[in-house]
């Protein structure tokens, strides 16, 4: 097959390749990326864009980081993959060790999966099987928060926002879960009414509930919604009262994004199961993890099958584990929280003027997340073009223009991102 020109590549892409949340019959525009380095994507034709998305919140150290490149190269020279059934390897062990050390104390056992959605599936299976092992086979539904997002596989979808487009078409095909309201917006909001509703709901369904799942403090793809960490303490309390498993989906919030290493730390409480993904490998390769407590592992071991019936082909892929080790160390061995504070300040300052634009209903920041919320759905193509014309890559969704930049983004690039977001919100 001959080398294709850029326009031939894009033509094939348009005719044959699915993109995320896209149509094959009416595809949206796509841009061809040829290289990426630091915080910049280089497009076919040579233009460069500052990536304000960290490639969907993963590339926290930017692209072609020498330490991460070196880790992949070194592991490639040993083995890129080996099955995890009956075999093990140093990259998985070192990564497991790091995660057990960094996450709340009682999370001691690590299941490596290959994507965030699968980690959520594993977490839900763990919770249901734990309940069976403890003699409660009827406890198999899950309570979730409205407005949440936990992935695109069927089990994960069942705990996503029940009204959202991700979910509605498949409602009949999904397990019917129990939803409490979305907690009120704001870190310091009054949560009294939400708490009463949630406690009442949990009490009513206690006999059939296995678990509660949420994204702590920041609901990401469900609307970049920030809420009071107090709600997490309420959920912990409810789980303790009714013997439910508390699952924190930290796939988006983990590894510093919200200002604490894990968002659970905002509330000072620990879940029974924690899901990690996205930034785990610094955006190099796909890998996720579901960590659980010894109590969960023991309950599961007491169930009829005794084993956790899950085992992805690429479980604990050595290349992915090796780069994850390098990425996590790179993060925690430096003053990452100073970078997050610096980015938070720059986003807060740089986006302030957007609050005065017509149609802007809210501007908010939390850690290295900056959001402009509109009173209407964003015209994604126009907003993306407006930002690209100012040298920035963003991918708005619904009524949100937002940034989740790599932690290495410099102050000048942060200012450029804020200008581009403001322009995108004005189209
Ligand atoms: C992205 C995301 C997922 C799904 O992860 P994938 O790797 O895309 O399957 C699950 N939960 C949360 C909170 C996420 O942000």
The tokens for 159 are 């705990």
Residue pair 384/395 in contact (Cβ under 8 Å)? The answer is: yes
Distances (CA, A) of 385 to 7, 278, 396, 424: 18, 26, 11, 8
pLDDT band of residue 33 (cuts 50, 70, 90) is very high
d(CA 103, CA 57): 20
What atom in ligand 1 is closest to the CA of residue 153?
Answer: 9
Q: Where are the beta strands (DSSP E) in 271-406?
A: 273-276, 288-293, 360-366, 369-374, 392-393, 400-403
Number of Cβ atoms within 10 Å of the Cβ of 29? 10
CA 117 – ligand 1 centroid, Å: 6
Question: What mean pLDDT, rounded, does the chain reach?
Answer: 97
d(CA 362, CA 379): 18
Site residues for ligand 1, CB cut-off 6 Å: 115-117, 120, 149-151, 215, 220-221, 249, 251-252, 277-278
pLDDT score of 165 more than 70:
no
pTM (2 d.p.): 0.98
Residue-level pLDDT at 168: 73
Distances (CA, A) of 409 to 279, 283, 330, 338, 404: 15, 15, 15, 13, 10
pLDDT score of 163 more than 90:
no
CA 77 – ligand 1 centroid, Å: 30
pLDDT score of 260 more than 90:
yes
CA 210 to chain centroid = 23
Q: Which of 161, 227, 272, 278 is catalytic?
A: 278
Mean pLDDT of 413-426: 98
CA 100 – ligand 1 centroid, Å: 21
- Tens of pLDDT, residue by residue over 310-336, are 999 999 999 999 999 999 999 999 999
* 375 is annotated as an active-site residue: no
Number of Cβ atoms within 10 Å of the Cβ of 343? 27
Q: Which of 249, 272, 399, 413 is catalytic?
A: 249
- Tens of pLDDT, residue by residue over 398-412, are 999 999 999 999 999
């Amino acid at each position: 097959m001959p080398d294709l020109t850029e326009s031939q590549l894009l033509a094939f892409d348009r005719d044959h390749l699915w993109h995320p949340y896209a149509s094959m019959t009416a595809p949206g525009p796509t841009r061809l990326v040829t290289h990426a380095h630091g915080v910049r994507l280089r497009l076919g034709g040579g233009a460069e864009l500052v990536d304000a998305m960290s490639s969907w919140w993963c590339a926290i150290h930017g692209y072609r980081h020498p330490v991460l490149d070196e880790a992949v190269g070194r592991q490639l020279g040993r083995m890129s993959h080996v099955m995890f059934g009956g075999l093990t390897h140093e990259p998985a062990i070192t990564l497991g060790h790091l995660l057990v050390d960094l996450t709340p104390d009682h999370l001691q056992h690590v299941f490596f999966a290959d994507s965030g959605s699968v980690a959520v599936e594993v977490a839900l299976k763990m919770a249901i099987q734990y309940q069976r092992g403890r003699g409660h086979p009827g406890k198999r539904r899950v309570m979730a928060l409205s407005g949440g997002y936990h992935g695109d596989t069927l089990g994960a979808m069942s705990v996503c926002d029940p009204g959202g487009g991700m979910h509605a078409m498949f409602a009949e095909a999904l397990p019917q879960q129990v939803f409490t309201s979305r907690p009120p917006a704001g870190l310091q909001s009054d949560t009294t009414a939400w708490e009463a509703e949630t406690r009442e709901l949990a009490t009513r369904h206690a006999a059939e509930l296995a678990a509660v799942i949420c994204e702590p403090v920041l609901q990401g793809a469900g609307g970049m919604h920030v809420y009071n960490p107090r709600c997490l303490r309420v959920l912990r309390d409810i789980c303790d009262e009714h013997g439910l498993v508390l699952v924190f989906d930290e796939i988006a919030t983990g590894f510093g994004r919200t200002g604490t290493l894990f968002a659970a730390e905002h509330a000072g409480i620990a879940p029974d199961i924690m899901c990690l993904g996205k930034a785990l490998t610094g955006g190099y390769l796909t890998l996720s993890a579901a960590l659980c407590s010894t109590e969960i592992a023991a309950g599961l071991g007491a169930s009829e099958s005794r084993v956790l019936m899950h085992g992805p082909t690429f479980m604990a892929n050595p290349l992915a584990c090796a780069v994850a080790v390098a990425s996590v160390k790179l993060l925690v061995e430096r003053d990452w929280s100073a970078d997050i504070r610096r980015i938070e300040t720059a986003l807060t300052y740089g986006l302030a003027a957007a609050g005065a634009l017509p149609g802007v209903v809210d501007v908010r920041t939390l850690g290295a997340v900056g959001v402009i919320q509109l009173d209407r759905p964003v015209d994604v193509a126009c907003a993306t073009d407006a930002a690209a014309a100012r040298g920035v890559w963003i991918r708005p969704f619904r009524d949100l223009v937002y940034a989740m930049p790599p932690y290495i983004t410099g102050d000048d690039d942060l200012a450029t991102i804020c200008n581009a977001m403001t322009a995108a919100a004005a189209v």
